[in-house]
Amino acid sequence: MKKYSFLFMTALVLVSGCKSDVDFLDVKSTNILLVDEVFNDPRLVLSAVTDLYNRIPDLVKPSNMALYAAFDEAFASGDYGRHQNREYSYDDWNYWDYGYIREINLFIQRVDGSTKLSAAEKARFTAEGRYLRANAYFELVKRMGGVPLITEPLLYDYSGDVTNLRKPRAKESEVYDFVIAEMEAIKSVLPKTPGEKSRATYGLAVATKARAALYAGSIAKYGVNTPTVSLPGGEVGIPASKATAYFQTALASAQELINSGQYALYQKSPDLSTNFANIFLDKSGNPEVIFVEDFKLQSGKIHGFALDNQPRAITEEGERGGRLNPSLNLVQSFEKLDNTFAPLAINTGSATNYIYYDNPEDLFAGRDARLRGTVLVPGATFKDKSIDIFAGLLLGNGTFLSGDQLGQLKNVNGASVQVVGKSGPIEGYDGSAQGGFYMRKYNDPVPGSGQIGTQSEVWQVRYRYAEVLLNAAEAGFELGQNALAATYMNQVRSRAGLTTPLTTADITFDRIVHERKVELAFENHELWDMKRWRIAHIIFDGSNSDLTTKPGSATEPSTRVYSLWPYKVYNPGGANDGKWAFRKILSGRVTQSHVFRLGNYYSRIGDVIINNNPLIVRNPNQ
């Protein structure tokens, strides 16, 4: 023991003789980077801003797809809470993350203080930080109304007095003005690189400015229809007098991007439905997509949308698939090619007087091509395989024969016959096509994308050019420029196979609402559109409304999610044997009608927030 102690002391003396005490303790970490080290290296700054991009607060994303079934677009097989809950919570779509905003403010401050970054690098990184901060405020104002506008990192002096850290809510209009002004300020700093899809660019800043101005204009114009959805200090509600200026800004910004020629509608495939589906799949030279969250297997960033939504007949992973089923409510909203609206022709006169079709997909012929680019209908194929959707057999005596297992065979008059599709639908059978349909939009056709070990790389599209055209059309309509609105809408509609142009007289509020519904389905627009137009409480009014007979009406109640089930006719020797019939179904899982209360227009600001900051006023009607 003494020998080892002597050796240790000798080593210590030798070390001490070589270094001062301070030098001995000042050892550079091999796994922790200091702030100055990060912000003096453009590669590390890029890593820091990438983390901020990855935390953009999207309400709906591939990882929480059940929210697509929160209203009337889809039935959530395996997640039935919304179909069984009558009222939306005041905490739904809540967001109040000032920790994220503080990190962005620190990022901007540290980039500005860097001594090693070039002027061009500092300018771009700062502009990206400002974009991300403004985008976070856009998310806050959409959900919460006016919020405290904090653009510098707040510092606590540990005195016990936090008064200087408490900030009141800005007016709702002031937050929108901030977003709009930031986009205008940074657009010329950001690069004009339309091929860059996952970082802020000139095109993204202009597109965001147009969207934000359109939202603000809508709230200003239509807020008069819900006068109690306001606060006297302007924290909620925008004066009607501001509407025109906002619409002018929206139109000018959208036209700026349109006239720049940097983006165009995606038109690569001759099959218009396939072309529409490919907007969300094609990452190579996609001229329409402006901004995405990207996913790459190689970097380990993937998602399970295909895993959860592959048709059950062709599942790559056992019992997985079929979770999100588009609704009949949405499907029948896609208009006919002659620009008219009509429910799907499944019967004449009475529910049991069926119309028979040679093939199940014939029911959907002559409709907007976006229907089959969004939805996998009965009779469709996916990954070059039949998705096999049918609910049972319609027998010659008018009765139905089905089963309780996918693809089940039964003895029918001495013959073994398949009585239900390998994808269902079967009532209450999770993952079967209980809505009668499966997802095509965002559903990955690449082999292996439906496997747990692989999953999907399909990107999440946040902004695309078609929306810019529709934003321009809507702003034009609100400014009384219907001919201009028709021009922009017809570009989007022509791509969908609707070849009879809309005229100036055709442009109405109903048309504006409809076009966004079918073009932007499942793209995180439905809730925000219904809120800004102040029609959510009219559509989701809590009534036990039947499936609408007027799918072109913007304010027709749509409170319950309906399904459409196909049946094979089994009547050997009969005139209709082998043909197909359809029934409108209301699933037993749909036990409540959606009701959107006035208090749902803005989410609740929690008691903890208000207790910590008494300057914060509560949102109305809660």
φ, ψ at 340 (rounded to 5°): -110, 160
Q: What is the pLDDT of residue 25?
A: 54
The proportion of the chain whose per-residue pLDDT surpasses 70, expressed as a percent, equals: 94
Taking residues 541-545, report their average pLDDT: 94
Average of per-residue pLDDT values in the chain:
93
In sequence order, what are the residues at sequence separation of 6 or more whose Cβ sits closer than 8 angstroms to the Cβ of residue 139? 57, 59, 95
592: Cα separation from own chain's centroid:
24
What is the CB neighbour count within 10 angstroms for residue 410? 15
Residues 6+ apart with CB under 8 A from 466: 265, 288, 492, 495, 519, 520
Yes or no: say if 62 and 134 are a contact pair by the CB < 8 Å rule.
no
Judge contact between 564 and 346, C-beta under 8 A: yes
- Name beta bridge partners: 464: 289
pLDDT above 50: residue 6: no
d(CA 202, CA 209): 11
CA 49 to chain centre: 23
Residue 476's contacts (CB-CB under 8 Å, 6 or more residues apart) are: 251, 482, 484, 485, 488
Is residue 162 pLDDT above 90, yes or no? Answer: no
Nearest CA-CA partner of 92 in 71, 112, 73, 72: 71
Residue range 449-502, pLDDT digits in tens: 999 999 999 999 999 999 999 999 999 999 999 999 999 999 999 999 999 999
- CB atoms closer than 10 angstroms to residue 427: 16
Nearest by Cα to 284 from 308, 307, 266:
266
Structure tokens at 197: 């899809």
| pTM as predicted | 0.93
Return the pLDDT at 2. Answer: 38
SS3 readout for 490-553: HHHHHHCCCCCCCCHHHCCHHHHHHHHHHHCCCCCCHHHHHHHCCCHHHHCECCCCCCCCCCCC
Tens digit of pLDDT for each residue in 412-435?
989 999 999 999 999 999 999 999
Q: What is the pLDDT of residues 42-76, one digit of tens each?
A: 999 999 999 999 999 999 988 788 888 999 999 98
Give tens-digit pLDDT for 504-524.
999 999 999 999 999 999 999
Q: What is the pLDDT, as a whole number, of residue 67?
A: 86
Two tokens, residue 257: 């991007």
Positive or negative: CA dihedral 33, 54, 174, 236: negative
Express each pLDDT in 205-242 by its tens digit.
999 999 999 999 999 999 999 999 999 999 999 999 99
**Strand runs (DSSP E) across 270-347, as ranges?**
289-293, 324-326
Q: Identify the band that residue 29 occupies on the pLDDT scale cut at 50, 70 and 90.
A: low
Q: Which residues pair with 461 in a beta bridge?
A: 292
CA dist., res. 474 & res. 216, Å (int): 13
Rounded Cα distance, 226 and 237, in Å? 10
pLDDT of residue 32: 65
Q: What is the mean pLDDT of residues 604-617?
A: 96
End-to-end CA gap in the chain: 75
pLDDT > 90? residue 332: yes
Contact partners, residue 227, CB within 8 Å, separation at least 6? none
Of residues 529 and 77, more confidently modeled: 529
* Cα 247 to Cα 214: distance, rounded to the nearest angstrom: 6
| Dist. CA 214–CA 252, nearest whole Å | 11
**Cα Dmax for the chain:** 106
Q: What is the pLDDT, as a whole number, of residue 9?
A: 35
